[in-house]
Amino acid sequence: MKIAMGSDHGGFALKEHIKETLTAKGHEIVDCGTDSTESCDYPIFGEAAARKVASGECERGIVVCTTGIGISIAANKVRGIRCALCSEPLSAEMTRRHNDANMLSLGAGMTGNNMADRIVEVFLSTEFEGGRHARRVGELDAIEG
């Protein structure tokens, strides 16, 4: 799977860990930055990763900042993005099954490497259920105007 990734300085180490793990599993990663722990602004990198997903260049996206909140808000500003902040695997499963989330947000200050690995694994392997949920996702998309 081709996956866009982005982080700010607070999420850099976790992004790099996830990138290494996913590359080892055969996924193609498009790294939208940042490339260091030097202070930077999360909206830039959340938007960059989201645009790769929204355009279809990447199938899914993963963004990381210290809490996961700000960068998820940035990603969700891009039309066509449904980015969910998840701190445990059940939320990652349900947001794929019911919301067809195409991006995952993680908080590096809240989620350790092992938990992040499991959340990402579940997020990437869970399929959208469709059915009544497809109608609701359509309603979400209609809000974008």
How many Å apart are CA 71 and CA 69, to the nearest integer? 6
User: Parallel, antiparallel, or unpaired for β 60-65 and 103-107?
Assistant: parallel
Cis peptide before 111 (omega within 30 of 0): no
User: Parallel, antiparallel, or unpaired for β 28-31 and 83-85?
Assistant: unpaired
Q: Is 133 a catalytic residue?
A: no
Q: Is 27 a catalytic residue?
A: no
Reported in sequence order, the residue ranges of 47-116 that DSSP labels E, i.e. its strands, are 60-65, 83-85, 103-107
Catalytic residue among 9, 17, 32, 65: 65
Element (H, E) at 14: helix 12-24
The token duo for 101 is 């989330």
How many Å apart are CA 53 and CA 39, to the nearest integer? 25
**Residues with catalytic annotation?**
65, 98
